[in-house]
Structures are given as structure tokens and as C-alpha cells.
């Protein structure tokens, strides 16, 4: 094959690749537009509001800490409290290396975008930073071997969970019923800063009709923090 034919074949390949990329971008934009229209319809039907790029500081408590990662939020009232559900993402870049087939190594980078659904219940009274998180393996080992870590006197809670922040400064005491809910698996890991009680889960929000179901466990935490009987 002569040089002209090779150049023509390469140009054709590049054209095909370019068309495929353009098609995928157009498809993704269309899917995002359809999704946003569906979220807007749900919000309007339920007296909620869809806010693109809300001005919130939730990223400091989320993986990746991407200050621009919250791209939209749905906010409204549910069960007597205001709540928000938001899209959040961050992109991670890692170095890669692979054999080049000639005894050497080819180096490059790989990017991965992680997506999350952020769930927030807005409480009445502000609080310093506070939360309950599962213990890591190393934290459990440290507690078992050396007795390190905060202990609240609830054996199973202290074994599997840890309190973060300033519980002594918060207007919301960690009632025994809340500790028991964590042990029972009916309360999610959460953090509270100001009036925003927050948890998150991997993946973007799908059907907005599932919002009450997704928020239910966090509302249970809100009830128990306020010293009320959990209604969810």
C-alpha cells in the first residue's frame, strides 16, 4: 500500500472516530436534557424547586471535595421538614503504564468520574460539625487492641461506629435510640454542619419518584436527633 493510500485510510479512520465521538456527545446531551426535564416535571408536581448549580458548601463533606461538583439540587418540603436531593461528582486522574511491545513502557493517565446522590434534611437549629460514621478496619483494630476512639457506652455502637465532630457543643444529643438505629442498620452514616443534615449514596438520582424512599432513613436520624419518635 502506497503512502497516499495509507494517508487516505488514516483520514477515513479519524473521520469515523470523530463522528462517533460527536454522536456520543450529542446522545449524552439529549439524555441529560430529557432527565432534567423529567426532574423539573416532578418538582413542579410536588411543589419542589430545581436549582442548577446551587450555592452550597456540601462538597467539604463529600468524597473528592469538589467545590463545583454539585450541579443541581431539588429542594422542597416533606414530612414537615425542608429537604434537598442533589447531583454531585468528582473526577479522579491516575497514572497508568503498560508495555509498548518493544521492551519499553508507555505512560499515560486515566480519568474516572465518580457520581453521587446527596441527601440533605434541613434542621431547625444550627449545630457545629457532628456526625456518625462507620469505623474502618484499622479503627476497629485500634479500639479492640488499645481501646482508642470515642466510646459512648453502647458496646455494639462503639465497636462498629465512631462519632466525628463536637458532640458536646451540639444542641442535638446522641440519644440511645439513635445509637440503636445505627446498630440495627436503619440509620445511615451522616454528618451535620449548620442546619444541613447530610448523607450520600453512589450513583446519580434515577426516578425522582423514589425521593421519599431515599430520604426516609435520614428523616429517621433527624427525628431521633430532635428527641422525637422516629416516624420513618
- Of the candidates 86, 75, 193, the one whose C-alpha atom is nearest the C-alpha of residue 131 is 193
* Same structural domain, 82 and 130: yes
Query: Tens digit of pLDDT for each residue in 21-64?
Result: 555 555 455 667 789 999 999 999 999 999 999 999 999 999 99
- Of the candidates 79, 81, 80, 57, the one whose C-alpha atom is nearest the C-alpha of residue 69 is 57
Domain that holds residue 10: 1-45
Query: Tens digit of pLDDT for each residue in 71-98?
Result: 999 999 999 999 999 999 999 987 666 6
Cell output for 215? 430520604
* Same structural domain, 13 and 76: no
Q: d(Cα 231, Cα 178) in Å, to the nearest integer? A: 13
* Same structural domain, 65 and 27: no
Q: Is residue 212 part of a domain?
A: yes
Q: Please tell me the total count of domains within the chain.
A: 2
Q: Is residue 231 part of a domain?
A: no
Q: Which residues pair with 45 in a beta bridge?
A: none
Q: Whole-structure pTM over 0.75, yes or no?
A: yes
Query: Tens digit of pLDDT for each residue in 171-185?
Result: 999 999 999 999 999
- Of the candidates 57, 65, 190, 180, the one whose C-alpha atom is nearest the C-alpha of residue 131 is 190
Q: Do residues 130 and 166 lie in contact, with contact meaning Cβ atoms separated by under 8 Å?
A: yes
Amino acid at each position: 500500500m502506497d503512502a497516499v493510500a495509507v494517508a487516505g485510510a488514516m483520514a477515513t479512520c479519524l473521520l469515523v472516530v470523530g463522528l462517533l465521538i460527536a454522536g456520543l456527545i450529542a446522545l449524552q446531551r439529549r439524555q441529560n436534557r430529557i432527565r432534567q426535564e423529567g426532574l423539573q416535571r416532578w418538582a413542579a408536581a410536588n411543589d419542589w424547586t430545581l436549582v442548577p448549580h446551587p450555592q452550597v458548601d456540601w462538597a467539604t463533606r463529600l468524597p473528592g471535595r469538589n467545590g463545583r461538583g454539585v450541579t443541581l439540587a431539588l429542594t422542597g418540603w416533606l414530612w414537615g421538614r425542608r429537604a434537598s436531593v442533589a447531583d454531585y461528582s468528582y473526577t479522579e486522574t491516575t497514572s497508568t503504564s503498560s508495555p509498548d511491545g518493544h521492551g519499553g513502557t508507555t505512560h499515560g493517565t486515566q480519568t474516572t468520574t465518580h457520581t453521587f446522590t446527596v441527601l440533605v434534611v434541613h434542621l431547625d437549629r444550627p449545630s457545629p460539625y457532628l456526625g456518625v460514621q462507620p469505623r474502618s478496619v484499622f479503627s476497629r483494630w485500634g479500639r479492640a487492641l488499645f481501646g482508642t476512639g470515642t466510646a459512648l457506652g453502647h458496646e455494639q455502637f462503639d465497636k462498629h461506629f465512631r462519632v466525628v465532630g463536637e458532640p458536646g457543643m451540639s444542641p442535638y444529643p446522641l440519644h440511645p435510640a439513635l445509637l440503636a438505629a445505627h446498630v440495627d442498620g436503619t440509620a445511615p452514616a451522616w454528618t451535620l454542619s449548620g442546619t444541613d443534615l447530610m448523607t450520600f449514596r453512589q450513583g446519580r438520582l434515577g426516578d425522582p419518584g423514589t425521593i421519599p424512599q431515599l430520604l426516609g432513613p435520614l428523616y429517621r436520624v433527624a427525628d431521633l436527633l430532635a428527641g422525637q419518635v422516629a416516624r420513618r
